[in-house]
Structure 1
């Protein structure tokens, strides 16, 4: 899989991916033109979480209004910001009303490509990954990370397509958080997500957001490409806020 400046449409499907829109209640029509542009350049759109700034109803409604300008199939996962007001189900419901498939406990096939996604969680990477040992609070914390990885694995297992894409908010590999302060790496993602991805041969790549100052590209231990599609990272690399990735 390759992420390019302008993938040739005749070579196959193109996925547009963007994360960390952080729509506020004063962001009317901020992304409408971008969604119209994406509809002309890509076949499918993936939204990689932190779609709203605080998970407010009005923020989700403003984003949904702009998303109605998108004429291609759209999948999404929520991010930690979308949970802030304690109503992620309402945010998902509003986005669903705009034609978005919010991934979590479900997977979907679009144009012969399978999409599975979860928010993910924190916990660290490799030898720095937090283990379920000691206090009850630590064990509960780790259990949340394990549950998110388990949901991703189950969703991927349900797909029967030759090509699958994992859509996340938190990072599955340390490569794509490089550039952030090392002290916060454990709060940017979890290797458990990469372990779930690497159990399946048909996963072509993964996309995520969250790490605003991270790196664009990395790989899982098995070599599956991972792209950090936080709009701040993508804008610096491509001079536009979304990535275009050829399938």
Structure 2
């Protein structure tokens, strides 16, 4: 007897939408369109432009046009005014799955998310040595990687057949920040984030943050990584600017 064709989930992903207080009405068509073409929407950080709660409220209102589940992480812009807790609260009220070391299962796909942090890549990765300020910087990246590992681990304990997707703001690999000035690579992501992605059997990872980076790369273990920053998607001709991935 022929095998039943495996159902695939269509995931749309975009980062760095930078919603402003003047954006009322700007995103309604976008969210309506993405709802027609995908079954899950990933928002990969920098949801607000300057970290104002009012910007998150505009986004939450625009998301009423989105009829599919939304999974999101915060980005560095969302932390700018130390309003990250209120931004998260506003979006949770709109039923957005806000991930920060958490995971959510939608259908047979599990999403694990963290903001991530900097620190550099591969041989250029900053080590835990020197002044306390440097150690604190590195520790933040370590903590974010541990949070991602924990979220992915919980997905494994939920169901061994779940397909795992990592949702980030900062990059886990160098390849998807290529195009940015090399001097700022340490502030665009960290290879520490790639370790749990490689070890936990992740199907693909999505991030933003590097606006003039590269759309696609892969980890040392061959896991696909996509930089879905809105400026990159627009440069690559995606209109509307979201990337579709089937899993």
Query: Shared fold (TM-score greater than 0.5)?
Result: yes
Structure 1 residue 27, shift from structure 2 partner: 1.2
Number of residue equivalences: 237
Unaligned segments of structure 2, at least 5 residues: 1-5
Contact 1:126 1:191 (C-alpha < 8 Å) held by counterparts: yes
Query: Is the 1:122–1:190 contact (alpha carbons within 8 Å) kept by the matching residues of 2?
Result: yes
Matched, 1:43 2:39: yes
Residue 29 of structure 1 deviates from its aligned partner by 1.6
Once the two structures are TM-superposed, the CA of residue 157 in structure 1 deviates from its matched residue by: 0.3
Q: Partners of 1:181 and 1:135 in 2: how far apart?
A: 26
Q: What residue in structure 2 maps to residue 23 of structure 1? A: 19
Could you tell me which of 71, 90, 111 is aligned with 2:86? Answer: 90
1:66-215 aligned at under 5 Å gives the runs: 66-159=62-155, 160=159, 161-201=161-201, 203-215=202-214
SS at match of 1:195: helix
Q: What CA distance in whole angstroms lies between the structure 2 residues aligned with 1:105 and 1:225?
A: 21
**Residue aligned with 1:232, SS:** helix
The answer (yes or no) to whether the contact 2:102–2:114 under 8 Å persists in 1 is no
* Alpha-carbon distance in 1 for matches of 2:18, 2:67: 22
Give, in whole Å, the separation in 1 of the partners of 2:178 and 2:86.
33
Gaps of 5+ in 1: 1-9
SS in 2 for 1:115: strand
Q: Following superposition, which runs of at least 4 residues in structure 1 exceed 6 angstroms of deviation? A: none
CA distance in 2, matches of 1:175, 1:29: 35
Residue 60 (structure 1) aligns with: 56
How far does residue 113 in structure 1 lie from its aligned partner after superposition?
0.5
- Distance in 2 between residues matched to 1:144 and 1:12, nearest whole Å: 35
Structure 1 stretch displaced more, 116-125 or 102-111:
102-111
Equivalent residue in structure 2 for 1:14, among 10, 14, 30: 10
Give SS of 2:111's match. Answer: strand
User: Post-superposition shift, 1:11?
Assistant: 6.0
Query: Which residue of 2 is the match for residue 239 of structure 1?
Result: 238
Distance in 2 of aligned mates of 1:125 and 1:29: 39
TM-score (normalizing by structure 2): 0.94
SS at match of 2:199: coil
Cα deviation for residue 239 of structure 1 reads 2.7
